[in-house]
Chains A and B, each alone.
Chain A
Amino acid sequence: MGSGRVVRKITAFVLPLVLVLGLAPAFPQARPTLKMIWVGWPEAHIVPLVQAAAADASVEVDLERIPFGRLFETLDIRLGARTSTPDVYAVDGPMTASYAVRGHLLPLDDVFTADEKRDWLQACIDQGTFDRKLYSAPVVTSSQLLYYNKTLFQRAGIPFPPADVRQRWTWEQVVEAARKIARPSEGIWGIVLEQTDRPYQILPLAQSKGAAGISPDGLRASGYIDSPAFVEAMTFYQRLFTEWQVSPKGLFEIPQVTELFGTGKLAMLVGELWNLRFLEAYKGLSWGVAPHPYFQGGKVVTPTGSWHIGINPRTERRREAIAFVKAFVSSKENAMLFDLTRRTPCRRSVYRQKAGEFSLAPWRIVLYELANTAVPRPLTPGFREYENILQQALRDIQLGADVKRTLQAAAARIDRELAKYRQ
């Protein structure tokens, strides 16, 4: 047979294809096109939004979706090349400072009027602000609820946690109920905080005890994540896994947590609002919602923050980019976004507009949290470094490491990595 003949056959077939597809020039664009990078939301969620905003702003948009798992690395490479593209891109809220300090974001203070800015929830504006300037425009935010399994509660004879924000349960009450219900040997668990190793989820515990996540200048973690209050909160968190055994170790993926709760193996879940959608798939589940817990005698703190959009300062189509971004984060678009995706809007006008929908039980709690208890993640240009190191520490704590030493080591590492931002 001879490999030569096989090679020749394939070449004869493939070579023409190469010439046609590889060397054919790209079609020249009619109108100036904006290159947009967004995170990997399902096409059905993001494409209509982009099209509507593009139509409103009279621009063409070339949308590229990047899976969340690789978004930051890919953006680093594209932005690091310091070219004119992407023109607009998705900014994970707390990353605003990081991109701004590297010169990857166009200041937006002049783009929006004071009224427009006031329409945004305070926590959203805060997250898009760095060095007192607005660098990224809020698109969606997030909030969390305490989901509980009615069946497991009834079987244990425990009354449901109240939905009234003024009577919300404390963490101590949560643990008490969890210990009564949990039967680890049978695979029944008491409580899981959805993103079990992420600062987004776990910092509110420390903040409820009065600890801060980082220094006010955003450059030092020592003295903050290893403060007595922080250590106390994390020790509590560790006991969920080790001493009280109400939380299963090693659940580092959100779908696993959803599955655990959805199949009735978990009594309480502190998680994001997307569960309102996800839990519908579990037909046999009887569940309710209550507000996010807090420490007795401490502050009520809830997690918040999500996606913003930013403009590349090197863009060659600044006018079009600004017009598009304004349209993309307008009240009209935000309402459409909620209708399409059920993600949490950033604009007060949307909440007013859809007052009927938002007066239903879960949303009533959420609105209160967004207005009163939501605390955005620490503001620091070194957020990637901070989050990654703290996440590793939280994992190790969950798996049984010495809390104080782990946090001290993490703080030292964070400080060292954040040193490069002292300029």
Chain B
Amino acid sequence: MADTLAPHLPVAHPTVAGRRHRLRWSQVALYVALTLIALAMLTPLYWALLSAVRPQEVVFQHVRPVSWRTFVPQELTLQYFGEVLTRTRFPRALANSLFISLTTVVAGLVVNSLAGFGFAKFAFRGKGLLFVVVLLTFMMPFEAIVIPLYMLIRQLGWVDSYLALIVPAIPHGLSIFLFRQFFAEFPNDLLDAARIDGASWWRIYWRIVAPLSTPAFISAALMLFIMQWDAFFWPLVAANSAAHTVVQVEISRFVMQESTSWGRLFAATAMAIGVPMTLFFGLQRYYVQGMTATGLRA
């Protein structure tokens, strides 16, 4: 119990070590608050995803007025999951999106973190201007550049290929900005010490800076992954063949002009959500409190 009250908690409630019954009260209050917020945020999603396991005919029943039946299905069915997995291209889309997203993350983490470090720790000619350019690249709405970008991809011969879906997404202005902000906090004393020891910048970066910046890498990885996982318009324009179909495009096929397959839509959505959710759950525990042992201030 005393463990969980380690002093690195930036807590809002008083932390008086040792008084056990006081501890339990605030613990309970904490969990109550956490749970209430979770309920508020997840209820819409829960209700919608229930439609993935409820017969389609019942989707809009019990809504007005609301009753316990709204949130507890009378009848459960896995039919829609089965249909989505066997009668559509969704499995292929899942595989494609996974491949595209992971590749983008790996390459993106390398490329963008290096750039972020460059902007954070070096002084060089054109740094200010180039940084503004970096900011500019994520301020320009995608829809305004989709046509020139499509023409460029055509000229490169990348239409209907994984290259079109992955390569343009790897250099990412927001990621560079994120890394730059994190690396700017990195204590220069550590870097100076390593330089005096004769280490090259490359070595310094990979052996010292990167390993100590796990939260930055995880945040950027999530950002890049979600960006690719949610991609819809660009894949539709540049690579809409059956072999390259992605998750969001496949999901959108369940919404037709005159009808919507609610069961399949939400079954596919549930599966689509499952991947980044699992990824996040696995990664968030690597948010380790930074540099507790060094005692160095940022």
Task: Report which of A21, A42, A64, A67 forms a contact with B162, defined as CB distance below 8 A.
Answer: A21
Give the contacting residue for A70; candidates B99, B105, B110, B233; CB below 8 A.
B233
Q: Which residues of B contact A73 (CB under 8 A)?
A: 233
Whether a CB of chain B sits under 8 angstroms from the CB of A69 is: yes
List, in ascending order, chain B residues with CB within 8 A of A41's CB. Answer: 256
Q: For the complex, is B137 an interface residue (Cβ under 8 Å from A)?
A: no
At the interface with chain A, which of B21-29, B41-49, B123-131, B145-153? B145-153
Residues of A contacting B255 in the complex (Cβ-Cβ under 8 angstroms): 67, 69
Judge whether A7 and B252 touch: CB under 8 Å.
no
Give chain A interface residues in 18-69, CB to chain B under 8 Å.
Answer: 18, 21-23, 26, 39-42, 62, 64-69
How many residues belonging to A are interface residues under a CB distance threshold of 8 Å?
46
Closest Cβ–Cβ distance, residue B152 to chain A (whole Å): 11
Task: Report chain B residues within 8 Å CB of A17.
Answer: 99, 103
Contacts of B121 in A (CB 8 A): none
A255 interface residue, CB < 8 Å from B? yes
Count of CB-CB pairs between chains A and B under 8 Å: 102
What's the nearest-Cβ distance from chain A to residue B286, in Å? Answer: 7
Nearest residue, chain B, Cβ from A272 = B258
The CA-CA distance from A62 to B160 in the complex, in Å, is: 12
With a CB–CB cut-off of 8 A, which chain A residues contact B163? 22-23
Partner of A1, one of B57, B154, B237, B286: B286
Output the least CB separation between A198 and chain B (Å). Answer: 11
Given the complex of chains A and B, what is the CA–CA distance between A11 and B217 in angstroms?
15
Majority secondary structure, B binding face: helix
Q: Which residues of B contact A77 (CB under 8 A)?
A: 146-147, 150, 237
B residues 116-172 touching A (CB-CB < 8 Å)? 146-147, 150-151, 154, 160-163, 166
* Of listed A3, A14, A21, residue having the most chain B CB within 10 A: A3
Q: How many residues of B contact A (CB 8 A)?
A: 43
**Interface, chain A (partner B; CB < 8 A):** 1-4, 7, 10-11, 14-15, 17-18, 21-23, 26, 39-42, 62, 64-70, 73-74, 77-78, 80-81, 83, 187, 253-255, 258-259, 263, 272, 274, 278, 281-282
Q: Spell out B's residues near A (CB within 8 Å).
A: 57, 60-61, 64, 99, 102-103, 105-106, 109-110, 146-147, 150-151, 154, 160-163, 166, 206, 210-211, 213-214, 217-218, 233, 236-237, 240-241, 249, 252-253, 255-260, 286
30 A-B pairs in the complex with CB atoms less than 8 angstroms apart: A2-B214, A3-B109, A3-B211, A3-B217, A4-B210, A4-B211, A7-B109, A10-B106, A18-B162, A21-B162, A22-B161, A22-B162, A26-B161, A39-B257, A42-B256, A64-B240, A67-B249, A67-B255, A68-B256, A68-B257, A69-B252, A69-B255, A73-B233, A74-B237, A74-B240, A81-B151, A253-B260, A254-B258, A255-B259, A278-B259
